[in-house]
Amino acid sequence: MGTTLVLGGARSGKTAVAEQIAARTAKQLQASVTYVATAQRSDAEMAERIARHRTLRPASWTTVEEPLHVADWLAKAPPGVVLVDCLSLLLNNWMFLESASDAQLSARIDELTAALRAFRGEVVIVSNEVGHGIVPADALSRRYRDWLGWFNQAVAAASAQVYFVVAGIAVDVRKWQAQW
């Protein structure tokens, strides 16, 4: 079994691609899909986004809201197909809901990658790629950007497949990497 990481920018289509991968994998394995949502209802707009996302998913999928402890949840989850959306918000929650130190962030990332490697099913993970823009002007934004980059690298290293989504088109990063 394995992990698939789906990266992309804002509104790149990464969640739609991840959902297609999860649905196809579940059909092949004759398994159910559990959607692990890391978003928090922080305001009315975010609550509306969450509601809209829910309506777009198949009714047969189970949704679990887990804003902080995805590694712990995976360790207890039964085999199947899990879609985690998304690492970007998970990191945000660690940094801003828990005020995690750099050492705590590093430990959390290690815990999650270990849980991914140990999971007895398929995991599809969504994350933003924020490293293509300019260097942020403030230290807090730079810290977030840096940690998300390291987080994405760690999860990519633990993943059998990595896709980068641009304009709704998924590019297989491992195939591209093999050409070099």
Q: Give dist(CA 34, CA 158) in Å, integer.
A: 20
**Residue given tokens 């994350």 in the structure block:** 127
- Going by their DSSP bridges, the two strands 81-85 and 122-128 should be labelled as parallel
Q: Give dist(CA 22, CA 176) in Å, integer.
A: 22
Q: What is the four-CA torsion angle of 77, 48, 16, 110, rounded to 10 degrees? A: -40
- Which of these is catalytic: 9, 32, 40, 53? 53
- Catalytic residue status for 53: yes
Q: How many CB atoms lie within 10 A of CB 19?
A: 22
CB within 8 Å of 21: residues ≥ 6 apart: 4, 6, 124, 163
Contact 44, 137 (CB under 8 A): no
Active site residues: 53
